[in-house]
Chain A
Amino acid sequence: MSEPLLEFRNVVKRFGGVTALDDFSMTLAPREILGLIGPNGSGKTTSFNVLTGIYGPSAGQVMFEGRDITGADPRAVYEAGIVRTFQRSRLCLSLSIYDNIMIGDTARLTRGLWSNLISRRGLEKQLDMTRRTARDLVATFSAELADRMDAPVGSLPMIERRRIEICRALISGPRLLLLDEPSAGMTHDETHQLMDDILAVRARGEGLSIIIVEHEMGVIERITDRCIVLSYGRKIAEGTYAEVAADSEVQNAYLGAD
């Protein structure tokens, strides 16, 4: 097997007396889609937060593309090519769709005071380019939405906000996309539509890997190559969806025994 894109090595995360992630190890291959499932509080979102640098792990190591990114700050993680969406959508509701998505592309945008305030020719070019990219990206999700790019995000329904959040994550051309419960607040059909759109974007680019945290088993079954089941911060099963779904421990802990 080729070198993994991402690797968790015995990662532990404690909050006071609670162990949210307990000796968690896993690998992710390039281009792989991995499902992370388990009951509430089993450590799925915590693993995202440790990976994206929001929390430092209490012990263990996180490797990305052969580099140690343990405890790196969120900015460094973003620059390494890891982006995410949030369980409760975290968009800037008072800003336009354009603004929200362009926030996802900051690594490519000029930061100097002079080029932002005084000599703005370069900024104008970047703006045109980034807006075009943002609009094209949104158009793959919804042509209708792409016509209203100047609308404030707060005026949009949940599904559109999800789409925008995903576009914000994708605009920088990341290596790894972390989706934290994309179906929350959406209907079954909307979720499947959204997944198809994400896969369409993925098919265009090169080697985007995805880790998805999801309770909607239909989604997991359809799109993931492999699943990891967490319970109380520990990995209790790993394999294809069919394999883990057949596991008796998983059925007891999460899916519910028949």
Chain B
Amino acid sequence: MAGALVVLGAGHYGWALLMAEETWQVVGLLALAGMATIAAYKTGFVRRVERDWAEAEPQLNRLAFAVLIGLILVLAGSHFALLMISTVLLYFIASLGLNIQFGFTGLVNFAGAAFFGAGAYTAAVLGAQALIPPLLILIAGGIVAMAISLPLLVPIVRTTGHYAAVVTIAFGVLFRTFLEVNEILGGPQGLMVESMKLPGWDFYNAPNLFGFETSFYLNYALMAAGLAALVFALFRRLERSWIGLHMDAVRLDETAAACFGISVRKTKILAFLLGNLILGVSGALYGMMISFIAPASFTFSDSLLLVSIVLLGGLGSPWGGVVAATIVVLLPEKLQLLQEYRFLLFSILVILVLLFRPEGLLPRHLRNFFPNRRTGA
């Protein structure tokens, strides 16, 4: 019950936040969220939510998905709200990719935006040819992102901790510079990206919903929701598998992991490639949605933004990623006066979270391999 209440409440809260126009409304809503959180802890409501989640996770996941679709349909006429929802969802998907690397395996990747951008540029280049079905272009975006990350595997496997992180920073900067000087890829001006197309349906068109006029972003919001659900499910299964256990073991103690037969190298390679694949796929859909991309959209700052989603939400915690992606994407849009200071705001937020709640806003829970059954082993 408590769990369902939270899911429905979150849906309503998301609606209110998207509809809020005035600064005082947004600030009021944020204050409300803060107070509700504190009250939930004081009254023990949080415990009940956690228990519900442990008992009926698959049902609550389905409910959350239904609420998300409901929210999208309710806002079907609003360009801005749907663009926001889609962006939050795509950043959330990207953060799941990063979470496999960072949250599970402990590989810090400061080039997230580069792999996200690689997906978007793949969509631009392949979409212009009109030879490949756009659904395959999404996958191609992921594969290209994965492929350009191959050279990074050498330092990732050979070094640990900060050294690998520094290499990814260099890669991100290199990627952006490469885009800027490359004339075929549009140089600093960037490229147009063709819209997503399913057989018989171009996402450029606004769907007609029972006679109501809707925004063409409805297409993207629904597709992003579906993709998010799919990646979320795979992410959960990965966490709750032997591979996920190996990733945890590698993150927490490489030496001990190796002494128990875990291949540290293979585990890191898998996590890094899988993460970049997800980043690339989400980037490809993002590019199709915003229809115009430039190197300036995929900078080091954007990589930091992705990392801060992972840190804010909690390492390895997908629900934390939903909350953090909402904060990171929506707040600067809603509080225009913060727009210029948004990186300052996020840095402060990350520092505060790391100081007072180092495990993130919604910390990851212990592994439950098969939540849909009682485990009385």
> A-side interface residues toward B, CB under 8 Å?
52-54, 73-75, 77-79, 83-84, 86, 90-96, 99, 102-104, 106-107, 109-111, 113, 116-118, 120, 123-124, 126-128, 131-132, 135, 150, 152, 168, 172
A95-B367 contact given A74-B258, A84-B259, A103-B260, CB 8 Å threshold = yes
- Does residue B249 face the partner (Cβ distance < 8 Å to A)? yes
Q: Are B366 and A95 in contact (CB under 8 A)?
A: yes
A-B interface, 4 closest residue pairs, ranked by CB to CB distance from nearest:
A131-B377, A116-B241, A74-B258, A78-B261
Residue of A52, A53, A127 ringed by the most chain B CB atoms within 10 A:
A127
Q: Which interface class (under 10, 10 to 19, 20 to 34, 35 or more) fits B?
A: 20 to 34
Complexed CA–CA distance, A120 and B257 (Å): 23
Q: Are A92 and B261 in contact (CB under 8 A)?
A: no
Complexed CA–CA distance, A126 and B369 (Å): 11
- Does residue B246 face the partner (Cβ distance < 8 Å to A)? yes
Q: Are B237 and A110 in contact (CB under 8 A)?
A: no
- Does residue B248 face the partner (Cβ distance < 8 Å to A)? yes
Chain A residue at smallest Cβ distance from B256: A90
A103: which B residues are within 8 A, CB to CB?
245-246, 249, 256-257, 260, 262
A118: which B residues are within 8 A, CB to CB?
237
Q: Are A117 and B260 in contact (CB under 8 A)?
A: no
Query: Which one of A74, A77, A96, A128 lies within 8 Å of B367 (CB-CB)?
Result: A96
A124-B370 contact given A116-B238, A116-B242, A117-B234, CB 8 Å threshold = yes
Q: Are A75 and B258 in contact (CB under 8 A)?
A: yes
Chain B residue at smallest Cβ distance from A86: B256
Complexed CA–CA distance, A54 and B256 (Å): 10
B11 to chain A, nearest CB (A): 29
Q: Is the interface of B mostly helix, strand, loop or mixed?
A: helix
B159: which A residues are within 8 A, CB to CB?
none
What are 6 pairs between A and B in contact, CB < 8 Å?
A: A53-B258, A77-B259, A90-B253, A94-B248, A104-B260, A116-B242
Complexed CA–CA distance, A95 and B238 (Å): 16
Q: Are B367 and A52 in contact (CB under 8 A)?
A: no
Complexed CA–CA distance, A132 and B262 (Å): 21
A111: which B residues are within 8 A, CB to CB?
242-243
Complexed CA–CA distance, A97 and B248 (Å): 14
Q: Are B377 and A132 in contact (CB under 8 A)?
A: yes
A193 to chain B, nearest CB (A): 24
Complexed CA–CA distance, A109 and B246 (Å): 11
A106-B261 contact given A116-B238, A116-B242, CB 8 Å threshold = yes
Q: Are A127 and B260 in contact (CB under 8 A)?
A: no
Q: Are A120 and B241 in contact (CB under 8 A)?
A: yes
Residue of A93, A107, A111, A113 ringed by the most chain B CB atoms within 10 A:
A111
Complexed CA–CA distance, A86 and B258 (Å): 13
A79: which B residues are within 8 A, CB to CB?
261
Complexed CA–CA distance, A170 and B260 (Å): 11
Q: Are B252 and A94 in contact (CB under 8 A)?
A: yes
